Amino acid sequence: MTAVTLQDVATEAGVSLATASRALHGGTRVVTAELRERVEQAARDLGYTSHGPAQALARATTPVVGLIVHDIADPYFSAMAIGAMRAAHESGLLVLVCNTFRDPALELDYVARLRAQRARGVLLFGSGFTERSYQSKLHHELDLLAGLGGRVACISPHGFATDAVLPEHRDGGRLAAGHLAALGHRRIGVISGPANLLVNQERLRGFRDQLRALDIELPQEQIAKADFTREGGRAAAVELMGRVPGLTAIFALNDVMAIGVLAALRDELKLSVPDDVSVVGFDDIALTVDVQPALSTVHLPLEEIGRHGMRLLLEEAPTGTRTVRVPASLVHRESSAPPRD
């Protein structure tokens, strides 16, 4: 039989993990009598047993928060990290940036280390991995952190319920598809990121859905997979155009890959953008206005997203989990135009 966790109690009571922890274990902030009774009743109903060391350490969090990112060198993550760090600085907190290199095992290790350091909270950036075993292990680690009085928030989906900032990745994919279709493109290729990332799945699903609604086919052969890197986008573009040479547009699921696509089309394939091939990216990192031609892309307010995430981490919610949804918008620049023919 699976042991009852603090997350189970929080869900049953309809409160956040941190509120459940304070109601059962104590802490620096006091919950109301009504909330305490609700959490205690949920614990009794579920047969939850508090962990002794967790109770002893619940008041011992440090003024440290952890930012767990996939790749801090990626402008997508660095822009969000700046927003989060500005908000943390306003609260007098020290920020530790943990770079996972998109390794699920390393991400779990960082959470465990931050818990051992009794960090005030952990903010998960980017995207969760799709593997169920990873999600279960991460959930367990974060449950232990919450049991010690730590708080948890995430940016983009991670496969479980917690305070979260959710950019509209799927809608962004729809916008990119609609933009290319409105320009007249029908033979469109996609440079997809790692298949085991939830964000990648959401962006690709939105793009597919909109093309399907417009009666435009996207065969599997017109999708190439790559790392979320410039070199990955470059190599994938060469491979994709070699396999399907008649494409008139390419949608890359992030801007860094899209910049690699621009380089491949220019330097290796000797094709003009947008005369021969239009290119659209996703995120609207700062570099998109400096490349030649300037990149059409799906805009997300990255620094604002980071601020939202840190505020969720630091500001207490009386009940339940909170969700901040951030809309996407399409920015049309020089890299996309109607097909030549």
State which of 12, 30, 60 marks the end of a domain. Answer: 60
What is the rounded distance in angstroms from the CA atom of residue 165 to the CA atom of residue 310? 10
Average pLDDT, the chain: 90
Task: Please give the C-alpha separations between residue 258 and each of 146, 148, 231, in angstroms, as whole numbers.
Answer: 39, 43, 10
State which of 41, 60, 79 marks the end of a domain. Answer: 60
Q: Where residue 23 falls among pLDDT bands split at 50, 70, 90?
A: confident
Question: Closest Cα to residue 144, out of 60, 51, 63?
Answer: 51
Task: Please give the C-alpha separations between residue 280 and each of 7, 245, 261, 302, in angstroms, as whole numbers.
Answer: 41, 18, 10, 18
Which residue's structure tokens are 């997350």? 7
Q: Could you please report the per-residue DSSP string of 102-148?
A: T-HHHHHHHHHHHHHTTEEEEEE-S--B--HHHHHHHHHHHHHHHHT
**237 assigned to some structural domain:** yes
**322 assigned to some structural domain:** no
**47 assigned to some structural domain:** yes
Q: Where residue 30 falls among pLDDT bands split at 50, 70, 90?
A: low
Residue 47 has a CB neighbour count (10 Å cut-off) of 11
Question: Closest Cα to residue 48, out of 122, 116, 115, 143?
Answer: 143
User: In DSSP terms, which residues pair with 329 in a beta bridge?
Assistant: 299
**185 assigned to some structural domain:** yes
Domain count, the chain: 2
User: 279-311: per-residue pLDDT in tens?
Assistant: 999 999 999 999 999 999 999 999 999 999 999
What is the rounded distance in angstroms from the CA atom of residue 43 to the CA atom of residue 8? 9
User: 159-193: per-residue pLDDT in tens?
Assistant: 778 899 999 999 999 999 999 999 999 999 999 99
**54 assigned to some structural domain:** yes
Highest mean pLDDT among 13-17, 36-40, 74-78: 74-78
Q: What is the CATH number of the domain that holds 27?
A: 1.10.260.40
For residue 33, give its domain range: 1-60
At 281, the amino acid letter reads: G
Helix residue ranges, H only, the chain: 6-13, 17-25, 33-46, 52-57, 75-90, 104-116, 132-147, 169-183, 198-213, 230-243, 255-263, 302-314
Burial-class residue 228 by CB neighbours within 10 Å (0-12, 13-18, 19+). Answer: buried
Torsion of CA 195, 226, 297, 287, to 10 degrees: 130
Q: What is the CATH number of the domain that holds 194?
A: 3.40.50.2300
pLDDT at 268 over 50: yes
Query: Which of the residue ranges 6-10, 70-74, 94-98, 225-229 would you say has the lowest mean pLDDT?
Result: 6-10
Residue 69 has a CB neighbour count (10 Å cut-off) of 26
**337 assigned to some structural domain:** no
Three-state DSSP class for residue 237: helix
Question: Closest Cα to residue 285, out of 236, 227, 228, 204?
Answer: 228
Domain co-membership, 56 together with 174 = no
Rounded CA Rg of the chain: 22
**84 assigned to some structural domain:** no
- Please report the pLDDT score of residue 34 as a whole number: 85
Torsion of CA 208, 214, 220, 222, to 10 degrees: -100
**117 assigned to some structural domain:** no
What is the rounded distance in angstroms from the CA atom of residue 170 to the CA atom of residue 280? 15
Question: Closest Cα to residue 164, out of 326, 329, 18?
Answer: 326
What is the rounded distance in angstroms from the CA atom of residue 88 to the CA atom of residue 1? 40
State which of 31, 60, 89 marks the end of a domain. Answer: 60
Highest mean pLDDT among 34-38, 111-115, 192-196, 204-208: 204-208
pLDDT average, residue stretch 99-125? 91
- Please report the pLDDT score of residue 59 as a whole number: 46
Q: What is the DSSP letter of 287?
A: G
Torsion angles phi and psi, residue 149, rounded to 5: 95, 0
- Please report the pLDDT score of residue 57 as a whole number: 42
pLDDT at 56 over 50: no
